[in-house]
């Protein structure tokens, strides 16, 4: 009975974490470049149940004896758990904003299905991070920055200075002002599953240069939208809620059975 109690409880915890992930996705449905989190749910190892005992008083010429008996009942699952939250790095739709500081990477051909392109940025600690959120602006010193104030980097890993001037960005990612041309630091992550999510659409990981054969365009005045499917997320939330309620009813039934076992068996004794 206690085994079933724990199995139902693990199901409730799993659906609660699923609900939290879906709620966060819906809250970021309008966040540029946001990648929806997906929950990887796995089952605990199954257990094989067996009945062990002995047959009684088997007659022999010298009397009787007990013979051990071992009967296999079958397997039982011991519950589920959320193994990890993994972002879905699918290209989001693009939307025209008309704001010159807004940029979007539009993927073309990439050499690896697990690979993806990112803008390289520098956080407050001076570490290089990566983002798909091209909702940039120019700070008071004329540097191109993210909405968190992180510097957008060029291909040499240096902050991009616009001098507060009007600039244009070519489809190849070259930022051009009247005085200079700077290549945006477009980085390639060969395996996005190695990235660590730090919040605010910022990821930590190891990146390299864009490989030969990869094609992309950088569009100015365009933002990549979140890839959250709001309708599907709402449907998944309802399913998670129903599963939570189902496990809750099972848990309540086990609790009532335990209560009867304690009260009624104790009274009979």
CA separation (Å) from 168 to 119, 122, 176? 17, 22, 5
Torsion of CA 31, 102, 172, 196, to 10 degrees: -30
User: Count of H helices and E strands in the chain?
Assistant: 2, 19
Helix (H, G, I), strand (E, B) or coil at 90: coil
- The one-digit pLDDT tens for each residue of the chain (269 residues) are 567 778 888 889 999 999 999 999 999 999 999 999 998 888 777 767 677 776 655 555 555 556 677 777 777 677 788 888 889 999 999 999 999 999 999 988 888 878 899 999 999 999 999 999 999 999 999 999 999 999 999 999 999 999 877 899 999 999 998 888 999 999 999 999 899 989 888 999 999 889 888 899 999 999 999 999 999 999 999 999 999 999 889 888 877 887 777 777 656 55
């Amino acid at each position: 009975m206690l085994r079933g109690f724990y199995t139902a409880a693990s199901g409730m915890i799993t659906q609660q974490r699923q609900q939290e992930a879906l709620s966060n996705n819906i809250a970021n449905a309008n966040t540029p470049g946001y990648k929806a989190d997906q929950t990887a749910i796995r089952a605990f190892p199954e257990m094989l149940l067996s009945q062990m005992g002995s047959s009684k008083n088997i007659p022999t010429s010298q009397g009787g004896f007990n013979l051990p008996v071992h009967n296999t009942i079958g397997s039982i699952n011991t519950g589920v758990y959320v193994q990890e939250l993994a972002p879905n790095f699918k290209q989001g739709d693009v939307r025209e904003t008309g704001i010159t500081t807004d940029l979007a990477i539009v993927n073309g051909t990439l050499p690896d299905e697990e690979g993806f392109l990112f803008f390289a940025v520098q956080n407050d600690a001076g570490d290089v991070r990566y983002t798909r959120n091209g909702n940039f602006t120019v700070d008071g010193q004329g540097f191109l920055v993210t909405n968190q104030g992180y510097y957008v980097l060029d291909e040499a890993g240096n902050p991009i200075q616009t001098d507060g001037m009007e600039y244009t960005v070519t489809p190849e990612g070259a930022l051009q002002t009247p005085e200079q041309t700077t290549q945006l630091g477009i980085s390639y992550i060969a395996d996005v599953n190695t990235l660590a999510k730090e919040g605010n659409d910022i990821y930590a990981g190891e990146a390299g240069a864009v490989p030969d054969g990869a094609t992309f365009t950088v569009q100015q005045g365009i933002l990549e939208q979140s890839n959250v499917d709001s309708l599907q997320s709402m449907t998944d939330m309802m399913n998670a809620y129903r599963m939570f309620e189902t496990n809750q009813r099972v848990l309540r039934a086990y609790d009532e059975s335990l209560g009867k076992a304690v009260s009624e068996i104790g009274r009979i004794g």
